[in-house]
Amino acid sequence: MDFSLSTALLGSLLSSLVLTGAMMYLASRPDATASLRWWTAGFALLFLRYALILLKPYIGETASDFLAESSHALSALIIFVGTARMMGRRLPFWPITLSGAAAVVWTAIAVYWIRDFFWLALPLYFFAGTVLCATGVVMFRQHRRERGQGYGLAAIGFFLWGLHKFDYPFLRPLEWFAPIGFMMSQLATMHLSVVLILIALNRQSRRAARQSDRVRYFSEHDLLTGLPSRRTLTTILDRAMKNSEAPLLVVFLDIRKFHEINEGLGQKIGDQVLRTVARRLYDTGQGHDIIARVGGDEFAIVVHSSPEEEALGALLRRITVDLESPIPIGEQEIRVDATIGVAYYPRDGRTAEEVMKNAGTALSDARRSGVRFRDFGELRSGEMLERMNLRRDLFGALKREEFFLVYQPQIDLATGQICGLEALMRWKHPQRGDIPPTVFVPLAESTEFILLLGEWVLDQALKDLARLEKAGFSLRLAVNLSAVQFKHEELTNAILRFLDSAGVSPDRLELEITESTVIHDERFVERVMDHLHRIGLQFAIDDFGTGYSSLSVLRRLPFDRLKIDRSFIQDVATDAGVKNIVEAIIWMAHSLNLKVLAEGVETDEQLTALKMLGCDEAQGYLLGRPVSLNLLIDRLSREAGRHSTESI
């Protein structure tokens, strides 16, 4: 072995030792990537190759050639595996193993039997060159995805090193090429070692940053639902309170009897229910509200809202309707509802912790009291305390028979005769006197009491309708259903039971539902409506124009009648714009084969305008105030007598 070749080998060995040692140190760290460990193993084999060539005088030429060239082929293969791992790909075990074994077997055959360097080197170096060029291709593809990370330099190094392998079998026998070839290989490996170390360090740094981000995300979010955690909610609330004095509503809710789902159906089903509830709450807020999971089955919602009864009622109805829609899991449907507690900023606290604590207190009080809703203000202010007492009185009012029904006539505008009635509920409190439905209905909807009250209304109204029919008056009876009632699973059975008990034909009963009831779960609503409609019941969409006013909903669902909200009727005779809207609503309803009824008619001018626009029916104080059943029968009898006299 001449001096120049020995010098080149010794230089290659020392530089490989330094660079491989650096790579081994980095690969031994706990945060090292799998690709770096594979690269380290590949360059360690390359260092072993140089050492084995230098040890040729001591271990024998044949053994040295076999071990050195085997290490050479395997190093290229292992470096390729490491690069693939960097791309996130796990190469199949058997093809890699068989390729490595084939290279070793061919080396043994060439060294021990053929004993010709050219035939030893030609397939072996072509194999190594192909693998190194393929590694260069992988690096180049990564460079196109992530520019500026060193992948381009690595690709160039692998390409040059791989191309050098192709010429080596032909030039290696030339005496002058041997030291130059080793130096070229060493320059390529040094270049690659440095670049790969830098790439590995960069990837480890970015992975550490991603891990840090993941740790921060998981510390700030709930793992099951992906919603912000209680701590994150506190931070967001604090920031919002510092940046603005605008009022905020903090809603705490928990799923009632969730432990029964967990214990009866298993934790996996319980987790699915929690994820579905989280998604529905997020959809309810349309991405604008802040939704968080603050406990096992507890969620929080933060809304920009002032403490107004109407706004709060709308939000609570929206949440209740969304949550009570059946949750399909496998072949079964699970129904859940919630207990809710609310607090306001700045009314109920000046810090996030204080407002959240008070919302939690309201939720706990609602659970203890067996009600569905509690406002923290009810626990401390006189006005709120009055409302809380009123809600408490609701439970006994039904037993004490303080509720009663009145009926408002609906007039056929073509004939001027009564064609239907709307049942309206009233509450005569023994101490407070008459309490309007706008006050006690929202209170009833915040508890399970609305279901009992709704059943009582249906039962009593159908019994009164039976009395009317016995008196000789055959009319349509409209009964309002709240969203909570409509979503209750026993609704259909209750209606059929009351119809049968009263002996009333189903086609005499009309159920009025609002647009907001429909829009939150159209498929469920459609299924219930179709079933009841086939039985013979009629449906009216109430307060049309104040909600979503979806034409597609009217087209798909089996409505018979559309009721225009009183807010449009007030100005129909004086405002051309309102008149055009009402006319458009009537035209649209008629095109869908729906009757149109105008609510809140109070003047002759309004009535005349509605007739001119083609409205079918109307109700309001001008046409008849809500009256008791006995007074209604008296009016019907008088009108029947007058019509019979006129016909004579």
DSSP states of 522-584 as a string? HHHHHHHHHHHHHHT-EEEEEEETSS---HHHHHHS---EEEE-HHHHTTTTT-HHHHHHHHH
Whole-angstrom distance, CA of residue 32 vs CA of residue 23: 10
- Residue with more model confidence, 598 or 238: 598
- What integer pLDDT is reported at residue 180 of this predicted model? 62
Q: Using the predicted structure, report yes or no on whether residue 383 has a pLDDT greater than 60.
A: no
How many other β-carbons are positioned within 10 Å of the β-carbon of residue 103?
Answer: 22
Work out the pLDDT band at 236, boundaries 50, 70, 90.
Answer: confident
Closest Cα partner for 77 from 95, 62, 50, 52? 95
- What integer pLDDT is reported at residue 438 of this predicted model? 80
Work out the pLDDT band at 184, boundaries 50, 70, 90.
Answer: low
Cβ-contact 233, 248 below 8 angstroms: no
Instruction: Give the pairing type, strands 327-329 and 332-334.
Output: antiparallel
pLDDT in tens, 506-525: 999 999 987 767 655 677 78
Report the range of poorest mean pLDDT among 10-19, 235-244, 569-578: 10-19
Whole-angstrom distance, CA of residue 628 vs CA of residue 408: 9
Q: Which amino acid is at 367?
A: R
Mean pLDDT of all residues in 272-282: 88
- What integer pLDDT is reported at residue 548 of this predicted model? 47
- Residue with more model confidence, 374 or 534: 534
Q: Using the predicted structure, report yes or no on whether residue 129 has a pLDDT greater than 50.
A: yes
Q: Using the predicted structure, report yes or no on whether residue 1 has a pLDDT greater than 50.
A: no
Q: Using the predicted structure, report yes or no on whether residue 264 has a pLDDT greater than 90.
A: no
Q: At what angle are helices 151-171 and 177-220 packed, to 10 degrees? A: 150
- Residue with more model confidence, 430 or 215: 430
Q: Where are the domains of the chain?
A: 5-215, 230-376, 402-636
- What integer pLDDT is reported at residue 19 of this predicted model? 66
Report the range of poorest mean pLDDT among 41-50, 204-213, 394-403, 462-471: 204-213
- What integer pLDDT is reported at residue 161 of this predicted model? 67
First to last CA, the chain: 139
CATH number for domain 5-215, candidates 1.20.1070, 1.10.3090, 3.30.70, 1.20.1300: 1.20.1070
- Residue with more model confidence, 576 or 83: 576
Cβ-contact 252, 340 below 8 angstroms: yes
- What integer pLDDT is reported at residue 30 of this predicted model? 67
Mean pLDDT of all residues in 115-124: 62
Q: Is 436 helix (H, G, I), strand (E, B) or coil?
A: coil
Mean pLDDT of all residues in 542-554: 64
Q: Which fold has domain 402-636?
A: TIM Barrel (3.20.20)
- Residue with more model confidence, 297 or 3: 297
| Structure tokens, 456 | 């009582």
- What integer pLDDT is reported at residue 2 of this predicted model? 44
Report the range of poorest mean pLDDT among 337-351, 469-483, 492-506: 337-351
Mean pLDDT of all residues in 548-560: 74
Q: Which fold has domain 230-376?
A: Alpha-Beta Plaits (3.30.70)
Work out the pLDDT band at 385, boundaries 50, 70, 90.
Answer: low
- Residue with more model confidence, 46 or 506: 506
Mean model confidence pLDDT for the chain: 80
pTM: 0.51
